[in-house]
Chain A
Amino acid sequence: MGLNPRAGRALRTLVTSVASDAHTWNLLHLQLVIEEMGHQVVNLGACVPDATLVAECLARPPDLVVVSTVNGHGAHDGLHLIRALRDHPRLPRFPVVIGGRLGTDGIADPARTRRLLDAGFDGVFDAGADLSEFRFFVDALASRLATTGSWRG
């Protein structure tokens, strides 16, 4: 796997789950997807407490945090997670996205997506979302960082 991002510069990404979610195949798959796009990945694995994620972000500030969760508690745990990151005084406002199956019913809920975006997520990929939407987000971020040096468009 060559580190030649197909768009922009190589991103330092952090792949993680929420505190209560034990699933890992989704994390491993996303790691490979992101690496194949030419970016670097630190994979924190399953059941990552918010404090562990915050500590990791302080130690090695990422360009992007990718939260993947499929156990049905994602929408709820995701709100806790994003507040822990956004409320921290020493963490910059790097982009954070969340995806997977965010509720127990397996149906994407626009109101839920809205709540997560309002709380500080930059992208929400709920049940039924296509991987190409995520790839598009990552490409756009990499180009933006390469041209403007800013996370925000």
Chain B
Amino acid sequence: MSGPAPGFGATVVRAHRAGGLVVQPRMGFGDPVVMRTGLAATRAARAITAGTITVDSYTRTGDLAAARRALHSGQSLNGYPIATHDPATTRLVLTGLLGEDFPVQVRHGSACPRDIVEGMIAAGLTATEGGPVSYCLPYGRTDLACAVRNWAACAERLAELRGAGAEPHLETFGGCMMGQLCPPGLLIALSVLEGMFFVRHGLRSVSLSYAQQTNAEQDREALSVLRRLAEERLGGVDWHVVVYSYMGLFPRTRSGAEALLAEAARLAVAGGAARLVVKTTAEAYRIPTIAENVRALETAARAAATADPGPPPAETGLYEEARLLVEGVCELDDDLGRALVKAFRLGRLDVPYCLHPDNARRSASFLDGAGRLRWAATGRMPIRPEGGGTSRPLTAAGLLDGLSYLRRKYDEAAPA
């Protein structure tokens, strides 16, 4: 490999303009040979693909000593330890694969991503994902203010690469948060706010995420609102929307899992997303194999190819809700990072069922009869639940019921 990798964002947008949906796995292995095999298989899949290096969770939590011990002892890692393998090794993993037609992104989940970012830059990679809120609140105990500082530094470090001719890319994970039971208005607001945060720290190529939820019509409206707010708030930069196939409890049956994935692909097309991150039929059980990932990429590509964009979704007030949440943060401080910290301290942003010490924990949600996500309580956020909310206490059975709504729906529809 010579020179910096081509821009992840530009490659995805170009493919999308040419009429295709870029599909991408979640994939990471500790062994560089297996990692390379996975990337090669992703590239060779019958689909327009982007490659993924998912980082292991020791590296994600900053425990590089544990990652090193695991490599030496042969312990099976749940991802690629990008800050531990020699950058030359990672370059070899990518040689002949990473290129104009095959962008590769590093996916992790870290609130302190410095080592990961340095590791990927040393190996010639310029695209990753996360965010100060989305990789902090759902995933650990790191102080939000600390995650904001870390992510500001990480965005600025990536932005420096622009001088070297690269176009670094950051994707916000804000459209996922806990993966389930977070109403779309808040997911959209966090996605937009983190995208804005990256731009303020120097990035000129970003993507905004939205994770498939429990009602297709509501999700289509959410994507349309996300794009509208992105147009308003991210002028002058290259941006695209990425959909995540359902991030909650996945169907256990193969046909149920494939049907849910195909639904995500149709959602991505109808919602104007340029990219889709897939899930596999193994999701309900364990970390998927390379073959299962390839099959998922091809299933998604087939579903996307025949998807019908359909009529524009009905408007139910989601745009107004997401805009209020974004404005409620921006007015708190000219510095968006400080505004985000204040917003959580004041409860103006409040993620349902998030156990992080910096989350106010006054909000709650529920699924209505049609599977739409609704607010049961909005705490001190500048929005109100329709009909004043509900005071039903949360029970273990009720929580499990909500968490497994889509699994049940798709498994029951599956042929026995």
| A-to-B contact residues, CB < 8 Å | 1, 19-22, 24-25, 27-29, 32-33, 36, 43, 45-48, 52, 71-73, 76, 101, 103-107
Q: Is the CB of A24 within 8 A of B76?
A: no
Q: Is the CB of B78 within 8 A of A73?
A: yes
**Nearest A-chain residue to B287, judged by Cβ:** A104
The verdict on B66 contacting chain A, using a C-beta distance below 8 Å, is yes
* A73-B66 Cα distance, complex, nearest whole Å: 11
Residue interface mask B49-81, A partner, CB < 8 A = 1: 000000001101101001000100001111000
**Nearest A-chain residue to B135, judged by Cβ:** A22
Q: Which 7 pairs, one residue from A and one from B, show the smallest C-beta to C-beta distance?
A: A106-B286, A47-B140, A32-B396, A22-B139, A45-B355, A20-B57, A106-B285
* A46-B359 Cα distance, complex, nearest whole Å: 13
Q: Is the CB of B66 within 8 A of A20?
A: yes
Q: Is the CB of A72 within 8 A of B78?
A: yes
Q: Is the CB of A19 within 8 A of B61?
A: yes
Q: Is the CB of A46 within 8 A of B355?
A: yes
The verdict on B109 contacting chain A, using a C-beta distance below 8 Å, is yes
* A25-B354 Cα distance, complex, nearest whole Å: 9
Q: Which listed residue, B61, B138, B179, B357, touches A20 by the CB 8 Å rule?
A: B61
The verdict on B44 contacting chain A, using a C-beta distance below 8 Å, is no
Q: Is the CB of A46 within 8 A of B141?
A: yes
* A21-B78 Cα distance, complex, nearest whole Å: 11
Q: Is the CB of B60 within 8 A of A29?
A: no
7 contacts between A and B (CB under 8 A): A20-B66, A25-B399, A29-B403, A46-B141, A47-B61, A52-B141, A104-B287
Residues of B contacting A29 in the complex (Cβ-Cβ under 8 angstroms): 396, 399-400, 403
- CB proximity of A126 to chain B, nearest CB, Å: 12
- CB proximity of A43 to chain B, nearest CB, Å: 6
Q: From DSSP, what is the main secondary structure of chain B's interface residues?
A: loop
Q: Is the CB of A33 within 8 A of B396?
A: yes
Q: Tell me the total A-B contact number using a CB cutoff of 8 A.
A: 84
**Nearest B-chain residue to A28, judged by Cβ:** B353
**Nearest A-chain residue to B58, judged by Cβ:** A20
Contacts A43-B355, A106-B285, A106-B286; is A36 near B61 (CB within 8 Å)? no
The verdict on B393 contacting chain A, using a C-beta distance below 8 Å, is yes
The verdict on B356 contacting chain A, using a C-beta distance below 8 Å, is yes
14 other contacts beyond A25-B353, A45-B357, A72-B287, with CB at 8 A cut-off?
A20-B57, A20-B58, A22-B138, A28-B355, A29-B403, A43-B355, A45-B140, A47-B139, A52-B141, A72-B78, A73-B57, A73-B58, A76-B70, A105-B286
Question: Among residues 143 to 166 in chain B, which have CB atoms less than 8 Å away from a CB atom of chain A?
Answer: none
Q: Which listed residue, A24, A33, A36, A71, touches B78 by the CB 8 Å rule?
A: A71
- CB proximity of B112 to chain A, nearest CB, Å: 11
* A107-B61 Cα distance, complex, nearest whole Å: 25
Residues of A contacting B355 in the complex (Cβ-Cβ under 8 angstroms): 24, 27-28, 43, 45-46
* A24-B70 Cα distance, complex, nearest whole Å: 24
Contacts A19-B63, A22-B57; is A46 near B139 (CB within 8 Å)? yes
The verdict on B2 contacting chain A, using a C-beta distance below 8 Å, is no
* A31-B411 Cα distance, complex, nearest whole Å: 27
Q: Which listed residue, B57, B77, B353, touches A21 by the CB 8 Å rule?
A: B57
- CB proximity of B74 to chain A, nearest CB, Å: 12
Residues of B contacting A43 in the complex (Cβ-Cβ under 8 angstroms): 355
Residues of B contacting A21 in the complex (Cβ-Cβ under 8 angstroms): 57
- CB proximity of B295 to chain A, nearest CB, Å: 18
* A148-B224 Cα distance, complex, nearest whole Å: 62
Residues of A contacting B109 in the complex (Cβ-Cβ under 8 angstroms): 22
Contacts A19-B61, A43-B355; is A104 near B76 (CB within 8 Å)? yes
A46, A103, A106, most chain B CB atoms within 10 A: A46
Residues of A contacting B63 in the complex (Cβ-Cβ under 8 angstroms): 19-20
Residue interface mask B341-360, A partner, CB < 8 A = 1: 00000000000011111000
- CB proximity of B169 to chain A, nearest CB, Å: 23
